[in-house]
Amino acid sequence: MFKKKWKRASQGIFLYKLGLLLSKGYSINKSIELVKSHLPDKEQDLIEDLLETLSNGNSVLDVFSRLNLPDEVISSLSINSVNGNLTNSLLENGNFMKKKTEWQERLNKAIRYPLFLLFLTVWIGILFYYFLFPQFSLLFSSLEVKTPAFTSIMLSFLSLFPYLLVTVLLLSLVGWVAVYYARRNTSCSYRMRVLTSIPFMRSFLLLMNSHYFSMNFGSMLKSGLSVTDALIIMEKHMKKGFFQEESMRLQKGLLDGKTLPELLLETPFYLQGMSDIIRFGQANGELGRELVQYGEWILIELEEKILSNLQKIQPILFSVIGGFVLLMFASMLLPMFQLMEAL
């Protein structure tokens, strides 16, 4: 119910405002009450249910779990509630959810018009194939003139296009089924290893993983926990997933006598710079602070990278669609020139 009625952007704003009020000394109940008063009626009803859940003696994390927030947000709030950093976690996760929504909106704007042009181009191709090109074929037959090779190739492509579309849909369905069963039968670490081997996904995943690990692990160390205790808390409070497996792997590696930077470099899941930050932080006794600062830098880099790639999407789509339209018109004009030469 919450997931359908409450958008991610609004959830991010709610978490951020809640964190601001908590940072000013308000209690969790009072903070929720104050934020609720600024929400639409539909969302106020949802918050009223949350307050009732909180008044029944449930923990703050049980309340947040009812919002159907992303798993990584719930895990982050759960981890930081243990070490007393719930306020900062609310601010950071709320801000990150708002940014993700902004990125998604920009992506939608970037591809909306090109997709409309693509739809229009498909209809132009259908009109050409079923109405215009047959007339040319009849005329060429009557004049005993050979159809230009380029036009013949274009006709063959347009005739095969429906079959290509069906093939793509079937392959997409098969791929979805394969991914579904792979998620159930393989470990999260193996899936992450496969995803990071894909070039266009690798850079984003490294930034996301490094940001999430630095912010949550660093906040626990900053609050006074040891490295081992912080990893135990991560294992306990992470929902079954990649970072829970990572915390277990790191604990085992530390028991085997390896250092944390060595363990992070063993896998292709994180930026190499994070190991250098950890060495520097351990050397000056400020590992927690250095990791949190590093996580903030990564977020800025991630935002710049996403915005830069979004700016490239629209020109690429326009170029592909425009090129296809030009090819169709060229295939139509060539027969006309050849007819003029024949006459």
**pLDDT tens-place string over residues 219-276:** 888 877 888 888 888 888 776 678 888 999 999 999 998 999 999 988 889 998 899 9
- Residue 316's alpha-carbon distances to 91, 262, 305, in angstroms, are 36, 40, 17
Q: What angle do CA 112, 99, 49 make, to 5 degrees?
A: 105
Mean pLDDT, rounded, for 91-106 = 83
- What mean pLDDT is reported for the chain? 81
The residue ranking higher by pLDDT, 65 or 297, is 297
The pLDDT-based confidence of 143 (bands split at 50, 70, 90) is low
Residues 191-216, buried b or exposed e (16+ Cβ, 10 A)?
A: ebeeebeeeeeeeebbbebbbbbbbb
**pLDDT tens-place string over residues 106-128:** 878 877 887 787 788 778 777 77
Distance, in Å, from the CA atom of 126 to the CA atom of 339, rounded to the nearest integer, reads 23
Q: 23-27, 140-144, 321-325: which range is least confident on average?
A: 140-144
Residue 14 pLDDT > 60? yes
**pLDDT at residue number 60:** 66
Distance, in Å, from the CA atom of 261 to the CA atom of 264, rounded to the nearest integer, reads 5
**pLDDT tens-place string over residues 158-195:** 777 778 878 988 998 998 888 788 777 788 888 888 88
What is the number of other CB atoms lying within 10 angstroms of the CB of residue 144? 7
Mean pLDDT, rounded, for 266-289 = 89
Q: Angle, to 10 degrees, between the axis of helix 199-222 and the axis of helix 272-284?
A: 20
**pLDDT at residue number 4:** 47
Domain ranges of the chain: 2-69, 98-343
The pLDDT-based confidence of 145 (bands split at 50, 70, 90) is low
Mean pLDDT, rounded, for 50-62 = 72
Which value, to the nearest 10 degrees, does the dihedral of the CA atoms of residues 219, 225, 226, 229 take?
Answer: -100
The pLDDT-based confidence of 91 (bands split at 50, 70, 90) is confident
Distance, in Å, from the CA atom of 79 to the CA atom of 216, rounded to the nearest integer, reads 7
**pLDDT at residue number 253:** 92
Contact status, residue 264 vs residue 276, Cβ threshold 8 Å: no
Q: With pLDDT > 90 as the criterion, what percentage of the chain qualifies? A: 7
Distance, in Å, from the CA atom of 18 to the CA atom of 337, rounded to the nearest integer, reads 70
